[in-house]
């Protein structure tokens, strides 16, 4: 029987936390005033240790963290991380109350999801903080039309169980030298933001 601690790849990763701290601090120092950095620690911080990387990034000036799954966010909460956390992936509506009670923000882009989640959220719980995801060209999840954005925002604003915390998109060409597609996505995202009735936090993610 193969043991759970047996591995078949000779891989070694050594993480320099001092370098990580300096990199995050340097990025924060270059950001415009009032711009907040959220460190991506999904997939165990890409194998580098989610808790260790999260703690160091926050100490260096990051405002919050982003993860892919609700499980990842809960694991960080259980380890004592109190900073803002946003789940980039879609969670099940039935789990909305879990996120609200642990002060974890979630991504939304469907009216049906919001309606279903509103039925399971308890009025005794804090409002569920949500970020609207816009698909400007990544081709994964997110709303694709301005009318959808208006409907989603309107539902959130008139429902006691939600709090609109932000809006974001995902740039898909962070590793390319050409900025043509990035600029196309950016202009489309600005168009989405322009139709919002209320001002909110604006976020962008890079692949």
* DSSP-assigned letters across all residues of 132-164: EEE-SSS-SSSB--HHHHHHHHHHHHH-TTEEE
Number of other CB atoms surrounding residue 6 within 10 Å: 7
Q: What CATH number was assigned to the domain covering residues 36-206?
A: 3.20.20.10
Pairwise CA distance, residues 121 & 163, whole Å: 13
Q: How far apart are alpha carbons 7 and 203 in whole angstroms?
A: 39
Checking if the pLDDT of 2 tops 70, the result is: no
Q: pLDDT tens digits, residue range 34-71?
A: 899 999 999 999 989 999 999 999 999 999 999 999 99
CB 13 within 8 A of CB 48: yes
H or E stretch covering 39:
strand 38-40
* DSSP H or E segment with residue 169: strand 162-171
Say what the pTM is.
0.89
What band does 200 get if pLDDT is binned at 50, 70 and 90?
Answer: low
d(CA 93, CA 87): 13
How many residues are given for the chain? Answer: 207
Question: Are 105 and 81 in contact, with CB atoms under 8 Å apart?
Answer: no
Write down the pLDDT at residue 203: 63
**What is the average pLDDT value for the chain, to the nearest integer?**
91
For residue 11, is pLDDT > 80? no
> How many alpha carbons fall within 13 Å on the CB side of residue 2?
4
Q: Could you tell me the pLDDT band of residue 207, with boundaries at 50, 70 and 90?
A: very low
């Amino acid at each position: 029987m193969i043991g759970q601690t047996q591995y078949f790849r000779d891989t070694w990763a050594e993480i320099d936390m001092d370098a990580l701290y300096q990199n995050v601090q340097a990025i924060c120092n270059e950001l415009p005033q009032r711009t907040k950095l959220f460190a991506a620690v999904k997939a165990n911080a890409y194998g580098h240790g989610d808790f260790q990387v999260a703690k160091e990034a926050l100490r260096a000036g990051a405002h919050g963290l982003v993860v892919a799954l609700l499980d990842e966010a809960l694991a960080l909460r259980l380890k004592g991380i109190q900073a803002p956390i946003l789940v980039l992936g879609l969670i099940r509506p039935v789990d909305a109350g879990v996120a609200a009670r642990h002060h974890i923000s979630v991504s939304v882009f469907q009216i049906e999801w919001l309606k279903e989640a509103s039925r399971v959220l308890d009025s005794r719980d804090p409002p569920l903080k949500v970020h609207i995801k816009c698909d400007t060209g990544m081709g994964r999840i997110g709303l694709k039309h301005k009318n959808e954005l208006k409907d989603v925002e309107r539902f959130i604003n008139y429902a006691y169980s939600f709090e609109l915390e932000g809006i974001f998109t995902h740039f898909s060409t962070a590793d390319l030298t050409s900025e043509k597609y990035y600029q196309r996505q950016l202009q489309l995202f600005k168009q989405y933001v322009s139709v919002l009735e209320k001002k909110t936090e604006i976020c962008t993610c890079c692949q």
